[in-house]
């Protein structure tokens, strides 16, 4: 199936992307800046899962950012949509097969760390997988990677340092933190957030972790950037809603886009 998907994309372009990007809910702006772009709707790619989430365009954009050939996933599926973990990472494996060496993953997240604020960009330093599942469960495909991949430095230290350096240069405030992956789709309870804080999570979100596991399995270097869209349940007053996540995401998206525009061409050289 991977091969069929790659062949279908190759019918549209001979571009060999070096950097892959995954753009989360309402965070798709940088895809509009890709030059010499070829757009392939996910629905046209055999085997590619289709997202049901609001704010997810669902297409692959291939082209150049700066001089660097990139493949941008504009929209992703989440495990809470009911897809299997293996199916959820299909796109990441296709990017790997297309030649991507570095993956930049973005997401919207709730802040557990109370020094964060909505609208902040947080570079992910590590994750805790609270999904209780992995895309690597089942017989291992040795052509993709090893049975027991290492997950130390899953979020590449040099890429993290570069991301923060570029953000500083642009005058964008960033922090670093641990991302806790929550299955959802319901937000966490305040008690669950207290538990996540206790085990070392700074951020709560419902994506990214399966993608990074699949990418590390293939030896792809990863960088993760969260847009803080809300304080997590019980961290601040008030109720949580998807509208707030989309609204703050949309407001913050230009800053994320500014960062990615500068960062992605440099990432390829690292
Ligand atoms: N929890 C989980 N996922 C999220 C949140 C949250 O508070 N905000 C955005 N995605």
Distance from residue 51's CA to the centre of ligand 1 (Å): 17
What's the token pair of residue 132? 């209780």
- Secondary structure element (H or E) that encloses residue 243, with its range: helix 242-267
Distance from residue 1's CA to the centre of ligand 1 (Å): 32
Pocket of ligand 1, candidates 26, 229, 236: which has the most ligand atoms within 8 Å of its Cβ, to mutate? 229
At what angle are helices 242-267 and 157-169 packed, to 10 degrees?
Answer: 100
Would you kindly state where each structural domain of the chain is located, as residue ranges? Answer: 2-263
Whether this prediction's pTM lies above 0.75 is answered by yes
pLDDT at 53: 63
- Secondary structure element (H or E) that encloses residue 102, with its range: strand 102-111
Our answer on whether the CB atom of 192 is closer than 6 Å to any ligand 1 atom is no
| Mean pLDDT, 10 residues at a time, the chain of 270 residues | 96 96 87 94 93 72 95 94 95 98 97 96 98 97 96 98 97 97 97 98 98 98 97 90 87 94 91
pLDDT at 57: 60
Collapsing DSSP states into helix, strand and coil, what is residue 62? strand
CATH superfamily of 2-263: Nucleoside phosphorylase domain (3.40.50.1580)
pLDDT at 239: 85
Query: What CA–CA distance (Å, rounded) separates 143 from 99?
Result: 14
Our answer on whether the CB atom of 204 is closer than 6 Å to any ligand 1 atom is yes
Active site residue 25: yes
Our answer on whether the CB atom of 100 is closer than 6 Å to any ligand 1 atom is no
pLDDT at 56: 56
Query: What CA–CA distance (Å, rounded) separates 85 from 136?
Result: 8
Query: What CA–CA distance (Å, rounded) separates 75 from 207?
Result: 11
Pocket of ligand 1, candidates 182, 239, 246: which has the most ligand atoms within 8 Å of its Cβ, to mutate? 182
Distance from residue 118's CA to the centre of ligand 1 (Å): 11
pLDDT at 168: 97
Residue pair 121/167 in contact by the 8 Å Cβ criterion = yes
Kindly list the distances between the CA atom of residue 90 and the CA atoms of 4, 51, 61, 95, in Å, as whole numbers in the listed order.
12, 12, 16, 9
Q: Given its phi and psi angles, is residue 148 left (phi above 0), alpha (psi -120 to 50 degrees) or beta? A: beta
Pocket of ligand 1, candidates 232, 235, 239: which has the most ligand atoms within 8 Å of its Cβ, to mutate? 232
Phi first, then psi, for residue 164 (nearest 5°) are -70, -35
Atom nearest to 231 CA in ligand 1? 7
């Amino acid at each position: 199936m991977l091969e069929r998907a790659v062949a279908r994309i190759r019918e549209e372009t001979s571009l060999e992307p070096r950097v892959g990007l995954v753009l989360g809910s309402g965070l798709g702006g940088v895809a509009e800046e890709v030059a010499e772009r070829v757009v392939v709707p996910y629905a046209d790619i055999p085997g590619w899962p289709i997202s049901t989430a609001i704010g997810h365009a669902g297409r692959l954009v291939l082209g150049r950012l700066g001089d660097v050939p990139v493949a941008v996933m504009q929209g992703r599926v989440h495990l809470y949509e009911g897809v299997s973990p293996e199916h959820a990472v299909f796109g990441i494996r296709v990017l790997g097969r297309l030649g991507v060496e570095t993956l930049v993953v973005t997401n919207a997240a709730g802040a557990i760390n109370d020094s964060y604020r909505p609208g902040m960009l947080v570079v992910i330093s590590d994750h805790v997988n609270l999904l209780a599942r992995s895309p690597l469960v089942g017989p291992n495909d040795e052509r993709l990677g090893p049975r027991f991949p290492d997950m130390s430095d899953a979020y590449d230290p040099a890429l993290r340092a570069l991301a923060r350096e570029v953000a500083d240069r642009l005058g964008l405030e960033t922090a670093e933190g641990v991302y806790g992956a929550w299955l959802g789709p319901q937000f966490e309870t305040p008690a669950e957030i207290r538990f996540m804080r206790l085990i070392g999570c700074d951020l709560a979100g419902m994506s990214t972790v399966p993608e990074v596991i699949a990418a590390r399995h293939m030896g792809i270097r990863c960088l993760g950037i969260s847009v803080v869209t809300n304080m997590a349940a019980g961290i601040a007053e008030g109720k949580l809603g998807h509208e707030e996540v989309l609204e703050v995401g949309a407001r913050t998206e230009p800053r994320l886009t500014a960062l990615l525009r500068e960062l992605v061409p440099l990432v390829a050289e690292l």
